[in-house]
Amino acid sequence: MDNIILEYRDPLFGIILLVALIFLISFVTYSFSIYKERLAREDYRKLSLRFELGKLKEEDYVHLYKTYNLPFDSILLLASSFLHKGDYNKAISVYLTLLEHVNDRVKKEELLELLGTTYFKGGFLQRSKEIFLRILKFSSRNKNALNHLLLVYEKLKDFQKAKEITACLEELDKDVSIDTIYLDSLIILNDSILSYEKRTELLYEIFKENKIIERIFASFLIQFNKTFFWEHIKEFNCAKYIDLMWYLNFDDIDFDKVSQNEFLVELYNAKGYLNTLKHSSDFDFDILILINTHEHKIKASLDFEFVCTVCKHSYPIFDTRCPHCHNILTLDVKHRLTKSFYTSNQSLQ
């Protein structure tokens, strides 16, 4: 019987004890990891539910990043959901919170770009400017930051600063010729020291070389120098800004000059200012001309929309930059028949 019992000094006893100890430690570690994983899954399910309900807090995004090692791009994708909903303040709060916990330079730069862009979309132009200037301090060749800073300066009407940004972009081999022409025109238009005649002279020099500013120039002339506009009407393609010509006040139209322009003759016959045509090659004009000759006139007019030739988005109001893709002077005007809400000689000026 004594031979069966192992003494504590027996090597076999030590091996059994070691194996038992390893088994016990492994069991406890495995059980604790299962318990921890279960808690983590439960916590993750709560986070997922809060995300589905749109109730994720700023610290939850940090929790996902630091605790679950969720890919950074995935976290930014989650945060960008607020942008799609138009909740810019919430998106800004998430980006600011993440910035406090992100140390990697590349990730921080990406976060700052998103923050600056969100400030811009939300209309916080000064804050947007500060963020992009901060980016450029440690990443002076960041084209995205430079492009957005140009837009910010333009929105703030600091056109000289915007032009300085085009010089930086030009050094980075970006074609900014259109931006330069556009900004030169805006600088002249917004120079209150210059007289209208001097502004007309300077803009006309740009216009002769660059027809891209035609609508800007024509709009300025229609408002401030109508005499010059009608004297040079042959140099303008009025179909490109039919909306401006349509809403022009009757008393501001030089009908002697109009009679020499086939498009304007059709337009003002459709408007009812003239009665010299029975038909037009334009379908909408033709309908309006027929309505004008009818005894019981139906109140009809033209409505306009503006379609970007680059991104194809449409807008009810003209802008010199497409609000979506930010390309310059790419909005083409389209017209269609609509019920009239204006009197025949009403102007938008």
Compute the distance between CA of residue 156 and CA of residue 164 in angstroms, rounded to an integer: 14
- What is the distance, to the nearest Å, from the Cα of residue 247 to the centroid of all Cα atoms in its chain? 28
Compute the distance between CA of residue 29 and CA of residue 22 in angstroms, rounded to an integer: 10
Q: Are 226 and 251 in contact (CB under 8 A)?
A: no
Least Cα distance to 221 among 252, 257, 192 occurs for 252
pLDDT at 102: 83
Paired tokens of 307 = 């379609």
pLDDT at 92: 87
Query: Could you list the pLDDT tens digit for every one of the 349 residues in the chain?
Result: 455 444 555 666 667 777 777 877 877 787 676 655 555 555 555 555 555 445 556 566 665 666 656 667 767 777 777 787 788 888 888 888 888 888 888 889 999 999 999 999 999 999 999 999 999 998 999 999 999 999 999 999 999 999 999 999 999 988 999 999 999 999 999 999 999 999 999 999 999 999 999 999 999 999 999 999 999 999 999 999 999 999 999 999 999 999 999 999 999 999 999 999 888 989 999 999 998 887 666 788 999 999 999 999 999 999 999 999 999 999 999 999 988 755 444 444 4
pLDDT at 12: 67
Q: What pTM value is reported for the model? A: 0.78
pLDDT at 249: 92
Distances 13 to 18, 22, 25, 27 between C-alpha atoms, Å: 9, 14, 18, 21
The pairing of beta strand 314-315 with beta strand 300-308: antiparallel
pLDDT at 233: 96
pLDDT at 312: 94
Distances 261 to 223, 230, 249 between C-alpha atoms, Å: 21, 11, 18
